[in-house]
Structure formats: C-alpha cells, structure tokens
Amino acid sequence: MFESAEVGHAIDKKAFRKEQATLRERLLDVQRQLYDQASFPVLLLISGVDGAGKSETLAKLYEWMDARYLSTLAFTAPTDEERERPHMWRYWRALPPHGRIGAFAGSWYSTPIGQRIESEISRVELDRRLDEINRFEAMLVNEGALLLKFWLHLTRSGQRSRLRKLEGDPLTAWRVTKTSWERTRTYDALLDAAGHVLRLTNTSWAPWNIVDGTDDNYRYLRVGRELLASLERRLGEKRVRKRVFAPPVAPVSDDRTVLSALDMRSLAGKRYESQLAKWQGRLAELVRHKAFARRSLVLAFEGMDAAGKGGAIRRITEALDPRQFQVVPIAAPSDDERAHPYLWRFWRQLPRWSHVTIFDRSWYGRVLVERIERFCAEADWLRAYAEINDFEHELVSAGTIVMKFWLQIDREEQLRRFKQRQKVAHKRFKITPEDWRNRDKWRAYQKAAVDMIDRTSTGRAPWVIVPANDKNFARVMVARELVKHLERALRL
C-alpha cells in the first residue's frame, strides 16, 4: 500500500520555484471560479504519519490560495455540545458550503485509527466504522462535494529524522509534542491500522492519494497538483453525472398496500379524554425519568395535508416541559441550507441530552414531495432511502430514540377537512392553490409513502402508520405508541 511512497521522491529548489509560480496562479484562478459558481464544496482531508508535514502542507496551501474561501476545520477533544450528539455531528456542522474549500486537519478518520492503535476498539468495530465512513463519503460525493483525501507517508527512519528536524527549529518545535514521540514507538501499529483503513476506504468515489512526505517540495507539489487537477476537471464538467446506488423501486403489484389495507378506527369522546390523559401522564414521567437524562428523542411526522399532524404534535408537547422540546416545521430551505447536503438542516436541529425535537414534515420530504414534484433527480431520491436509514442509524447508535409517524387519511376525509377549514377559520388556515394541486396527485403520494415505509421502517427507528380519519383515535395512538417505544428504548 505504501511502497510507492517509499521509493524516494525529491524536487530541487529551482524546479520547485518554477512550478510553484504557475501552480499558484492557476490555483487562485480555479478557487475564484469555484467561488463564483458556488455549485459545490471542496473537502480536503490531510491525514498521515506524525511529522509527515500535515501542518506545513496546509500552511503552504494558505500561502498559495485565497484564505477568504479556504477554511481549516480542526478537531481536538469534543466539546460538551458535541459529546451529546452522534459522533459525526461535529463534522456535519463544519461542512463547507458550496463554493468554499474546507481543509480537515483531523477528520472522521482520526478517532477510529487512534482508538484501534490503542486497542480501544476491536477490528470488527473498526470495520463497522469504516463502513459508516464509506457511506457518509458516498453521500457527500452524491450531493456534489469534491472530496480529496491525502495520506502523507513517512518511513520509520524518515519519521524520526523529520521530528528531530522540527524540534531543532524554534519556529516549529512546538509542533512536536510528547505524543508525537510516543507515536514513533507505535509506528508499526499505526501502519498496520492505517493500511487497513486506507484499503477499506479507498473507494471509487473517494480514493486516497498516498504521498511521500519526506521531501517538502515534492509533497507540496503533489498535493497542489492533485488539488488543481481535480478542481479543473470538476469545474470543466458540463453536468455532474448522477450515480444510482439503489435499484429502482419495484412496481406495486396491486392496489393493496399497507396504507390501503389500513383499518380506519375511531374513539368516542369520553374514552378519548381518559386514554389521552393516561398516555400523556406516562409520557410526562418518562421524559423526566433519570433514564432519559443521557438520551434524546427525535420524532418525525408525515402525512397528507390536513392529516392532523399539528394536532397530534400538540398532544405530545402538552406532556413535555417547554424548556426541553422544539417543534421544527419543514418548509422551503434557506440559502444557507441549500448550500449544504439536504440532510444538513436536520443535523443542525438534533437535540441535546434529555431534549426532544419534533419535526413537522422531515427529511422524508426527499422521497415524497421532492420525488413527486421532481425537485430532485430520480437518482437523488433513490439513494435517499439508504442515506436516511444511515442517518437514523447514527442517531440510534448515539442513544437518540427515533420514531416516525405517518398519519393516514383518505381522500374524502381530506376534502371534508379542507372545506371545514375554509369555513371555520378562513384567515388562519388558508387553503392555497398548492394544497388543491397536491390533492390531485393523491395516488402518486400514496405510492411514494408506501415505498418510503417499505424501505425505511427499521426495528430501531420504526414507522407507525396511524389511521387518522378519526382525530381522537389518531392522537391517542400516537401518544400510546410513543410511550411504548420509549419504555422499550429506556428499558423501563
């Protein structure tokens, strides 16, 4: 794996200066184009052996490029806000927007490699993390990111002599820490772990560039050239190719689906009051229970217009402390949100420990409205199922409890509610022409919902299909299912 980076590369001062001049000019050009187009972000990962010149390479890029559109994203020990979210949260919040370059000094590779060297995680656990990383990077690339990964390599003796050299210069001595020397003692372990990691994450969509770090000039030019070539190639492409990582959805064989087969039930007013009070009371205790102190809860509500999402959400929030929950309505994204992968706006809203975030419409918009209205390409919504499963899996792995509710009403019931709304409270609930248009696409939405439920209902993050023609029944069912799932998840 590392052999090619050990054959001894070097570039002399004169040749370096000459190439540097044109390289710098061209890098500034492409950086400017990148910023003007603002159609994709660049993620630059610089990893490698200690002393192989990660910091120096980064500093060189700053010397060559425009620091205004280049950010270094450094990660040391997680802050307490980071510790209370899934471990990828800190990277999500740092993702550069379209048009910018984010250089990751320390990345999602640092922790698993470090933990493997210290034997804190097993080989199996490492492989699980690498699979997660591959899927994360596939998502980034599919979302348009240009992802460049560099591994700066040194031989064992090369590492020792580089560290001595850095220590000798007062300007760089601070970079050599006790840990750096400790790492030389674990050189074999690092190479073993890194070799494995690089091999398993050397994907077609995000390959590694292994660079000999011994000679400064050679290293700088290798990284600079690769960055320039990748940017020029990408900026020159007329249209970004769309890859499909998922097979097309099988056509529904007949009209009998989990939705059409649903038994619409109802609940009389008196039983409704007592049942609702019962489940709300249990819920109020659960979210204040000490078992929830280091957990969090994410709920997603989906359903046709007027399905009763708002009413069901209100019955949940009544049992919660206003200081512990947030209801997030999902409408058109802001321009900050549009400049990031579509899941970014949901990552932003993840709750801290003992907090609850309730999404009124959610990331499932990708496979519902965006699919049907063709706001994204077929390839985009097809891959979204797997990305959404990954997202929820990461949440659940971090201790977050995730539930999704589909509130099912039939077409006649929707019409009845539209008319009622127009009559009763015409100012507040405007029925827009869009609502009527969505209604015309009833069958398409139902089909999309069935596909969604088939592909994203998992044991750890289940879909609850709620017969919602009767509001009483729906609200009690939502509260009851939430309580039951919470009790299971909190082992109470």
* Residue 178 engages a copy of itself in binding (rule: CB under 8 A): no
Interface with a copy of itself includes 434 (CB under 8 A)? no
**Looking at 160-168, 406-414, 421-429, 484-492, which segment touches a copy of itself (CB under 8 A)?**
421-429
DSSP-derived letter for residue 243 is P
DSSP string, 197-228: HHHHT--SSS-EEEEE-SSHHHHHHHHHHHHH
Cite the DSSP H helix spans in 150-186: 156-168, 178-185
Asked if 402 and 460 touch (Cβ cutoff 8 Å), the reply is: yes
Per CB under 8 A, which region of 14-22, 317-325, 390-398, 472-480 contacts a copy of itself?
Answer: 317-325
Please count the residues of this chain forming the interface with a copy of itself, following the rule CB under 8 A. Answer: 50
Pick from 318, 419, 484, 492: which binds a copy of itself (CB under 8 A)? 318
Buried b (16+ CB within 10 A) or exposed e, 160-188: eebbeebbeeeeeeebbeeebeebbeebe
Residue 171 found at the interface with a copy of itself (CB under 8 A): yes
Residue 168 binding a copy of itself, by CB under 8 A: no
If phi > 0 it is left, if psi is from -120 to 50 it is alpha, else beta; for residue 262 that is beta
Our CB check for a copy of itself shows the closer of 135 and 282 to be 282
Closest CB to a copy of itself among 111 and 457?
111
* Single-letter residue type at 385: Y
Q: Which of 10, 21, 38, 59 binds a copy of itself (CB under 8 A)?
A: 59
**Minimum distance of a copy of itself from residue 297's CB (angstroms):** 15
Give the span between the Cα atoms of 377 and 379, in whole angstroms: 5
CA torsion sign, 263 to 308 to 266 to 283? positive
| Nearer to a copy of itself (CB atom), residue 103 or residue 223 | 103
Q: Which of 71, 111, 209, 230 binds a copy of itself (CB under 8 A)?
A: 71
Return the range that interacts with a copy of itself (CB under 8 A); candidates 139-147, 226-234, 319-327, 436-444: 319-327
Strand-pair partners of 150:
46, 209
Stretch that binds a copy of itself, among 77-85, 113-121, 199-207, 477-485 (CB under 8 A): 77-85
What's the sign of the alpha-carbon dihedral 341, 351, 77, 191? Answer: negative
> Quick one: which of 323, 374, 423, 491 contacts a copy of itself (CB under 8 A)?
323
Q: Are 205 and 136 in contact (CB under 8 A)?
A: no
Minimum separation from the CB atom of position 157 to a copy of itself (A):
27
Among 13, 79, 124, 248, binds a copy of itself (CB under 8 A): 79
Is the CB of residue 340 less than 8 Å from the CB of residue 99?
A: no
- What minimum distance in Å lies between the beta carbon of 67 and a copy of itself? 4
**At a CB cut-off of 8 Å and minimum separation 6, what does 321 contact?**
287, 288
For the bound state, the minimum distance from the C-beta of residue 323 to a copy of itself, rounded and expressed in Å, comes to: 4
Closest by CA position to 128, among listed 353, 373, 394: 394
- Report phi then psi at 71, rounded to 5: -125, 140
CB-nearer residue toward a copy of itself: 17 or 314: 314
If the CB atoms of residues 229 and 425 are measured against a copy of itself, the closer one turns out to be 425
Please pick, from the candidates 166, 276, 313, 367, the single residue that binds a copy of itself as defined by CB under 8 A: 313
State phi, psi for 44 to the nearest 5 degrees.
-120, 115
Does residue number 386 form part of the binding site for a copy of itself (CB under 8 A)? no
Does 174 bind a copy of itself (CB under 8 A)? Our answer is yes
Q: Which is nearer to a copy of itself, 83 or 485 (CB)?
A: 83
Q: Is 110 in the site for a copy of itself (CB under 8 A)?
A: no
Residue 322 touching a copy of itself (CB under 8 A): yes
Q: Least CB distance from residue 311 to a copy of itself, whole Å?
A: 11
- Minimum distance between the CB of residue 33 and a copy of itself, rounded to whole angstroms? 8
Helix 378-397 and helix 442-456, axial crossing angle in degrees, nearest 10: 40
Q: Rounded distance, CA 150 to CA 60, Å?
A: 15
Instruction: Examine residue 293 and tell whether it contacts a copy of itself (CB under 8 A).
Output: no
CA distance 477 to 312: 9
Of these, 21, 39, 66, 268, which contacts a copy of itself (CB under 8 A)? Answer: 66
Site membership for a copy of itself, residue 353 (CB under 8 A): no
CA distances from 197 to 108, 129, 148, 207, 223 (A): 12, 10, 16, 12, 20
Please report where in the chains the tokens 């210290």 appear, as a residue. Answer: 118
**Residue 35 vs 245, nearer CB to a copy of itself:** 35
* Chain residues in the site for a copy of itself (CB under 8 A): 25, 28-29, 32, 55, 58-59, 61-63, 66-72, 74, 79-81, 103, 105, 171, 174, 281, 284, 288, 310, 313-314, 317-318, 321-329, 334-336, 358, 360, 425, 427-428
